[in-house]
Amino acid sequence: MKYKVYVDGQEGTTGLLINDRLKIRDDIELLKIDPEKRKDTNTRKNFLNKADIVFLCLPDAAAKESVAMVTNEHTKIIDASTAHRTNPDWAYGLPELGKEYREAIKASKRISVPGCHATGFNVAVHPLTKEGILAKDYPVTAHSITGYSGGGKNLIAKYEETDTDSTALKSPNFYSLGLNHKHLPEMQKVSGLTSPPLFTPVVSNFYKGMLVAVPLLKSYMKKPLSAKEVQAFLANYYMGEPFIEVIPYDSSSYLFEGFLNSVQCNDSNKLQLFVFGNDEQTLVVSRFDNLGKGSSGAAIQNMNLLLGKEEWLGL
């Protein structure tokens, strides 16, 4: 049996990658809309309702508009936008967080793909709050560095214009300096924190790849653990997960001349979790592809769960 799949927003960065991953599968029939009609409401509505699975790769307002067009009760929607990530009627598409997340995805007709920064953050923090190692009122801070592809076509064009010779763009750049990044609501909700983390993202002059870092102080933990003990806890928590690799505490062999680069997980759906530090201070770092586990790969993983397939199929 072939499943009909429609990607609404198939010309965007995430949409193109989802199409590339699916077009080589023999269990999927990709529905292709005429480019000239992709903004025609009636044509889009027809495609949305004849698909078994719809991927939404759209801005938030357009994603909500597409959801409202779906009247076929059998159509299942996987939304890669921010629009539904804190909506209790939508399953949050990060199955590794626990059995309840994986089962909710399998049972739902509405799945929200996590944001890239939120993926790295929640993989690091959710287990610690869930198991009472961090109190929910712990003053969490987080930092990330990402390739410019996460900013979509406009930012990609800005970095890749051949006539642009900006030393500012060649430098890493802090952004979202109002401390109001759009991933904060899901970071707070999924991690169970009473307040949003103080989150400072950085974009740099490379195409893709991401590190999300969360520093922790033993003296502020509800259940005080050293860095080595945090690593052991996370290794046990994620044991058996095909896409989460918790790196050994002695991780020097994974570094390049002492540096932790952002790109080693590129072109995969893998997320590596590192723990550095000592008896009093801990740094938990997630490394993954912001276009893989951070978007298109996660979307395909969720589709596999919905269809009862092996979770890693095509990934």
**pLDDT < 70 positions in the chain:** 162-165
> What is the tens place of the pLDDT at every residue in 234-261?
999 999 999 999 999 988 889 988 999 9
> What is the tens place of the pLDDT at every residue in 65-108?
999 999 999 999 999 999 999 999 999 999 999 999 999 999 99
**Alpha-carbon gap, residue 300 to 270, rounded angstroms:** 13
Per-residue confidence (pLDDT) for residue 39, from 0 to 100: 78
**Alpha-carbon gap, residue 142 to 120, rounded angstroms:** 10
> Cβ(292)–Cβ(118) under 8 Å?
no
Q: Which residues are catalytic?
A: 116
CA distances from 98 to 127, 211, 238 (A): 9, 22, 9
> Cβ(213)–Cβ(274) under 8 Å?
no
Fold of 116-290: Dihydrodipicolinate Reductase; domain 2 (3.30.360)
Q: Going by CATH, does the domain composed of 3-114+295-306 fall within 3.40.50.720?
A: yes
Structure tokens at 16: 């193109």
Q: What is the mean pLDDT of the chain?
A: 93
Within 13 Å and on the Cβ side, how many CA atoms surround 132?
1
Per-residue confidence (pLDDT) for residue 164, from 0 to 100: 57
Q: The whole model's pTM is what?
A: 0.94
Per-residue confidence (pLDDT) for residue 163, from 0 to 100: 61
Tell me whether domains 3-114+295-306 and 116-290 share a fold: no
Segments making up each domain of the chain, as ranges: 3-114+295-306, 116-290
